[in-house]
A and B are shown apart, each in its own frame.
Chain A
């Protein structure tokens, strides 16, 4: 292990702990940004330059901004006190964490360095593009993921404005039903 590997491992663990342990949700999101930046640095150190930049643009840039928007608009920055609203969740979370760790250990143990590192060209888009967009490689997987994201976007819009996208079948607007159900 080189010096920088130790430094990045320590930073990764510290920022990840910060995400989980921070009392304030905005501080947790800040730790998440720091974590993503360190991950991007690790990618760059592994000569995966395109992935490193995408990590910063997509995750540290776009996704955490959305997190912060939600936190601020719901003023959910302070941690919640009182009883746990979902008491049964902790064992499930443990199960999920352990299985994720198992999958990761399996993946790392099976990993083989490419026989010809020069063919990766430092992870530039010119080398990555053919891998992702050739039908015999990963094109269908990429298309499927794109389709999934599209479905998720439509679903989000449907959740926000149901009557504008799909008029209710019964002819009754959702607000009326809610008002009828309230008393």
Chain B
């Protein structure tokens, strides 16, 4: 903590303001990109390139009628979106965007916690309550069913999320995000020795942000709208906001832990903010890309995948990296294991469905 309380307050305000603006424009970017994927134009009427569309959306959602179901638990009904957005917003301040004093003499992060990863984990667990309570307080069947199953899914994927972060914490020997970035500067990016952990973390954080393969809350064919069925106006917008802020935080966290954070390899200059923003943009684009191309998993498939595939894989990889660290071997051993796991994954992906198809073809 080198900055004063005032600086921290100003930066916290900037982070919240930035995140909310980023949310507004992420909706536009996502809609435009989805349109591009589906060979159509997307929203381009309001202002140049549709740039004022988020403003129009904001005005619309604020001035819509704010309905409260007559049998709803009014206090909890109001609390749920507030809980959602609060715990979504408080995680981002941890992520370092550059070296000390890089932000007009201030440090380019809001807080520097020694238990950073644990803090992020705690915050993302608390965010489950927003969904949970929204479904209960609405006093509606669809909302309750939606919230029960999405919170069950979120809790299930928390496990592999936490488990996949154990390996980098072990290797670096610290839970502090800045230590992790500094370690990667000296020893190379963590994605190389820990590719399985990266893949597991990527998938689980996609599930945590309720993105497409795992976007059960939005399964409108089955549940109307899931946990937020009874919400309208600005409260509904708060839930959307929380979802996008989770997504933005995840796409900042993945590069910080696995892709060198705000630094780039030696031949590129260290420019605070720039590299981090580029990496974030890359991951946000990948998330939208996946949404445009992938299908939604059925609920039982989702649970089976989380408990039956992701969690054992995370456990095995954690044990393996713990063994390597305990044996005092060098990181290059883990590089080989990582490469082997990539090959195994490729073999599984390439052989599985294709063989079934040929077998069927042979029988016919």
Contacts and interface: CB of A to CB of B under 8 A. Distances in A.
A125 B115 contact: yes
A55 to B, nearest CB: 9
A53 B119 contact: yes
Contacts, number: 62
Nearest to A61: B125
A53 B148 contact: no
A57 B122 contact: yes
A26 interface: yes
Contacts of B174: 126
A61 B76 contact: no
A54 B121 CA distance: 10
A53 B79 CA distance: 23
Interface string B21-45: 0000000000000000000000000
A61 B155 CA distance: 9
Interface in A54-86: 54, 56-57, 60-62, 65, 68-69, 72-73, 77
A61 B162 CA distance: 13
Nearest to B137: A26
Contacts of B128: 61, 65
A26 B158 CA distance: 23
B132 A68 contact: yes
Contacts of A65: 128-129, 132, 151, 155
Interface residues of B, number: 27
Contact of B118 (A24, A33, A50, A62): A50
A57 B121 contact: yes
A89 to B, nearest CB: 28
B73 interface: yes
B114 interface: yes
Contact of B114 (A26, A54, A60, A122): A122
A124 interface: yes
A39 interface: no
Report which residue of B76, B128, B129, B158 has the largest number of chain A beta carbons within 10 angstroms of its beta carbon: B129
Contacts of B133: 26, 30
A53 B151 contact: no
Given A53-B119, A56-B122, A56-B125, A24 B114 contact: no
Contacts of B122: 53, 56-57, 60-61
Contacts of A122: 114
Interface in A122-143: 122, 124-126
A49 to B, nearest CB: 5
B80 to A, nearest CB: 10
B9 interface: no
Main secondary structure of the interface of B (DSSP, over half): helix
A24 B155 contact: no
A73 B132 CA distance: 12
Contacts of A52: 115
B175 interface: yes
Interface string B136-171: 100000001000100110010010000000000000
Contact of A26 (B76, B113, B173): B76
A57 B144 contact: no
Contact of B148 (A27, A49, A61, A69): A69
A62 B125 contact: yes
Contacts of A68: 132, 136
Contacts of B126: 56, 60-61
Nearest to A71: B136
Given A26-B76, A33-B129, A62 B115 contact: no
A56 B158 CA distance: 14
Report which residue of A50, A54, A61, A68 has the largest number of chain B beta carbons within 10 angstroms of its beta carbon: A61
The list of the 8 closest CB pairs from A to B, nearest first, reads: A61-B125, A53-B118, A56-B122, A57-B122, A49-B115, A53-B115, A53-B122, A124-B114
Interface of A: 24, 26-27, 30, 33, 49-50, 52-54, 56-57, 60-62, 65, 68-69, 72-73, 77, 122, 124-126
23 contacts: A26-B73, A26-B76, A30-B76, A49-B113, A52-B115, A53-B119, A53-B121, A54-B118, A56-B122, A57-B125, A60-B122, A61-B122, A61-B126, A61-B128, A61-B158, A62-B125, A68-B136, A69-B148, A69-B152, A72-B144, A124-B115, A124-B175, A125-B175
Interface of B: 73, 75-76, 79, 113-115, 118-119, 121-122, 125-126, 128-129, 132-133, 136, 144, 148, 151-152, 155, 158, 173-175
